[in-house]
Structure 1
Amino acid sequence: MTALLIRDLRLAMRAGGGFGLGLGFFLILAVLVPLGVGPDTGTLALIAPGILWVGALLACLLSLDRLFALDHEDGSLDLLATSPIPLEGVVAVKALAHWLTTGLPLALAAPVLGILLNLPGPAFAPLMLSLLLGTPALSVIGAFGAALTVGLKRGGLLMSLLVLPLYVPTLVFGAQAVSRAAQGLDGSTALLLTAGITAGSAALLPFAAAFALRINLR
């Protein structure tokens, strides 16, 4: 499993692998929003938590279609399905690799981009913490969506339609934690709910994704 993780990390680091794609999208969004909304600092501070979380969500979505599609095209997925590694473990490793190359960089870069959106100072730590707690759920849920659509033509579009509704609870609680911190309120409940969604997703969805892969590989 370690070898599989290293392999997926190397593939993500290559040109076109999606490592810089999410960060680039996140940066462009943070730059364009002030241009579209206007320079009013009060308005930017109000919408910054939601904009940063929506940006992180969409950035995670960009590279999900590659999660199983490339392995399916070159036959590697069939080999993984017949290897001693449980297919549930393969799904978990691929979700972890996706988070390490997408979700983690987004969480680390978010406070810097929060400056562009005039995010209040007390919200910087909750922003990073909420993304660290919430983006793993985005990767695991995305892995489930990618498993459902592997091998389908235009599967990326269908996957987005399937995954986006499942992202809503993580988005709501993650953005709420940052918004409450920006207003000087306690956002710990929202953070705990975000962590709970991630824990539940990590515990259940690899099994659902492995089941979907087995059906698609028949």
Structure 2
Amino acid sequence: MKALLIRDLKLAFRAGGGFGLGLAFFLIVVVMTAFAIGPNPELLGRVAPGILWLGALLACLLSLDRVLALDFEDGSLDLLATAPLPLEAVVSVKALAHWITTGLPLVLAAPVLGVLLSLPAQGFFWITIALLIGTPALSVIGTFGAAITVGIKRGGLLLSLLVLPLYVPTLIFGAEVARRGAEGMALDTPLLMVSGITCGVLALMPFASAAVLRVNLR
């Protein structure tokens, strides 16, 4: 598993679809939003948690089609399917590699970009916590979508249509954690909800992804 993780990390950086692309897209979304809303610190501060979460979600979505596509094209996925390593572990490692190269940089960049959106001082900690808890679910759900569309030519649009509805609960409760934290409100309920969603996704979705891959690789 360690060797597979290192291989996927190298491929992500070498292919240019990981760290740099997602982070650049996140920056563009935040900057363009700030320009569109205008120099209104109060309004920017109110919408900052939602904008940061939406930007992170779209940045994660941007590189999902490369999670399994490269391995399918060169035949590596067929070899992994017949390897001693369970297919559930394979998709879990690929989701982890996607999170490390895409989700984790977004978590680290969010507080910095929050300055551009006049995010209240107490919100910097909670936007980081919310993204740190929620983004692993985005990567795992995205891997499930990639497993469904693997082998489909130009399946990026279909992948987006399949995955976006599944992202909605994480987006709602993650943004609510950041918003309530920025406003100094009680956030027990949304924090527990986003944590529960992530735990449930991490526990169940790899099995669904592996089952879909077995069907597609027959």
- Indicate how the Cα distance of structure 1 residues 139 and 32 shifts in structure 2: closer, same or farther if over 3 A, else same: same
Pairwise CA distance, 1:156: 1.1
Alignment partner, residue 49 of structure 1: 49
Alignment partner, residue 93 of structure 1: 93
Aligned-partner Cα distance in 1 for 2:149–2:59 = 19
Alignment partner, residue 182 of structure 1: 182
Pairwise CA distance, 1:28: 1.0
Alignment partner, residue 165 of structure 1: 165
The aligned amino acid for 1:77 is L
Aligned-partner Cα distance in 1 for 2:31–2:123 = 19
Aligned-partner Cα distance in 2 for 1:163–1:2 = 27
Alignment partner, residue 148 of structure 2: 148
Aligned-partner Cα distance in 2 for 1:45–1:19 = 27
- How many residue pairs match? The answer is 218
Pairwise CA distance, 1:96: 0.4
The aligned amino acid for 1:8 is D
Aligned-partner Cα distance in 2 for 1:125–1:186 = 15
Alignment partner, residue 6 of structure 1: 6
Pairwise CA distance, 1:17: 3.1
Q: Is 1:110 the counterpart of 2:114 in the alignment? A: no
Alignment partner, residue 30 of structure 1: 30
The aligned amino acid for 1:40 is N
Pairwise CA distance, 1:15: 4.5
Alignment partner, residue 199 of structure 1: 199
Pairwise CA distance, 1:18: 2.3
Aligned with 1:154: secondary structure?
coil
Aligned with 1:169: secondary structure?
helix
The aligned amino acid for 1:137 is A
Deviations 1:138-190 (A, max 9, x none): 00000000000000122111010000000000000000011111211022321
8 Å Cα contact 2:18-2:98 kept in structure 1 = no
Q: Which runs of 5+ in 1 are unaligned?
A: none
The aligned amino acid for 2:47 is I
Deviations 1:18-56 (A, max 9, x none): 221110011111111111111111110111010000000
Q: Which runs of 5+ in 2 are unaligned?
A: none
Q: TM-score, normalised by structure 1?
A: 0.98
Runs of 4+ in 1 over 6 A off after TM superposition: none
